[in-house]
Structure 1
């Protein structure tokens, strides 16, 4: 039975992916910032179908030692790690660059970049020793180089991680490690809802567009997990909101009304 480690998996897309891996009979180690968050996440996933076991460990992904301890914990419990996903991330997307508070800049840079870079180092070393393993970095808005309003700092971190991941693909090409990136699209998650409360007028004016381009994490996670499990080639780019899928939505009459994603959160 395979084992997957997912950072930032006590909520959002990480939590949904943990559920899907379990459904595919994969053991899962989740992590979050606190013991309480980890315990609550495990309890909420306990009744999900699948024979995979669920364990968790509180981890600060900006600390390399704690990430190494997360790897060691997974190996001690399950014998090895087969899939490592650097998913932990923070997005503050309601203010221009010059108005973004220092604490928000610091949190985004350290969590998004340090967390992914340090997590990649730990996983790549471990996988190289095993001579096998799959490492995936979750990217986000701006990783494609497009400029989006009020997302300058966040997008800069994700754009940088796109380059970082591509460099890691080349550096690990002969190590037996498969490295890939995941572009999950625009997801209505806990983090998105937090940002929505900061700028409710944007949600009101952009609701139709948001319902076309956005998805619920539970709808996207099954596809992402299936792709990660089936991918055989390093350098894979797993994208949910492809140009073809997006164009089909725009061309489908009434799609925005039928796909009222935010209504599922009572908005």
Structure 2
């Protein structure tokens, strides 16, 4: 898709990461907190007749730009159409929007840890730039009390240095201190770092905005440097190889 489009829009850091793939393209880039401006420019580019890709890290539909594109089109009354065969019919003048699936940080990070997301999980961002912190706290408490594995995005920034420790205290109301916690920074990038710790030591972990934190549920365990959440097979089948056959 990046080869086919005429223009590429994205956060400055993401544009830098894909420079080898977009040589010769029209580039629309803005810094952090300028997402609306960035999407506005991309929509205007597309309405002017140029194909434009908006790039996000991970998957465009998970804590990323796909939702904002649709929201702004709806607010502006722009007629849109999708490439799906079963999509509602729209005229040729409608704006074609296609969401290209990617690999989200929770999937990339989970693969490096082992299998922490094999059973039900919840993804919660600790960024309160767009979501009230009181709501984030309620979501953390609800997910922890329901025994979800919790994938935490945006765990710490310079402005939000204490949010992860607060989250830790909330989850400890419902989990044991020894609950395995996976810390993955820069998954699949040059700065990749993977650590497995415990919930009681989470506040000591080195994390930043490129880190995804995986808090296990009551069944999650660590085995030889891997973090595993059972799906439940052991309750129905005999998994002991010594007894197999």
Same-fold call, TM cutoff 0.5:
no
TM-score computed with the length of structure 1 as normaliser: 0.32
Larger Rg: 2
- Which structure: greater strand fraction? 2
The answer to which structure, 1 or 2, has the higher relative contact order (CA under 8 A, 6+ apart) is 1
